[in-house]
Amino acid sequence: MYPVRVTTLETQPMLLMPWTGPYAEVEKGFEKLEEILAGARVFAPEVEAIVGIYLDDPSTTPPADQRADLGVLMSEILAAPEGMTPAELSPGRYAVLTHKGGFDSLMKAWCWFYEDWMPGSGEQIDDSRKPFELYADSMEPGIQPDDAEILICVPVAG
């Protein structure tokens, strides 16, 4: 069981990089993202959090064809580094699950959310917006992967 809260998120500027490949290997995409950001000298405090927006259903999309937009939430965007595109976080209501731990246990949290929490929640998924993962504390020095808090944000109607 994981804590879930329903909250309203506001529009926020983002820089995104497209990535294609098995979601189980998305860490490779985040490594490329880090290289791009470091090369462009984009760091905190402008970068507020790392975000992964997953565009395909992994139960119906072959792993090699799974697409994501990986990027960062920004306080403001002055210029987009090569390979990245400015965008905005879609505002609205989200069910936000807090997962503590690394990538290896993240799929279990996603499954619990959709199979256990969602059916009894009284909420309806808003398919006009995409779910995403938010890695807010990954910008803090010294955070170990197993201690990281990952927020799974699923858009809900209303």
CATH number, position 131: 3.20.80.10
User: Above 80 in pLDDT, residue 147?
Assistant: no
Give the pLDDT score at 145.
64
The single residue listed with the structure tokens 């090569």 is 82
Instruction: Tell me the CA distances in angstroms from 47 to 62, 119, 155, one per residue in order.
Output: 32, 35, 23
Q: Does 122 score more than 90 pLDDT? A: yes
Range of the domain at 116: 4-155
Q: Is the pLDDT of residue 101 over 90?
A: no
Question: How many structural domains are present in the chain?
Answer: 1
> Torsions phi, psi of 156, nearest 5?
-125, 155
Q: How distant is the alpha carbon of residue 144 from its chain centre?
A: 18
What's the confidence (pLDDT) of residue 60?
96
The 10s digit of each residue's pLDDT in 6-57 is: 999 999 999 999 999 999 899 899 999 999 998 888 776 788 899 999 999 9
User: What is residue 140's predicted lDDT score, i.e. its pLDDT?
Assistant: 57
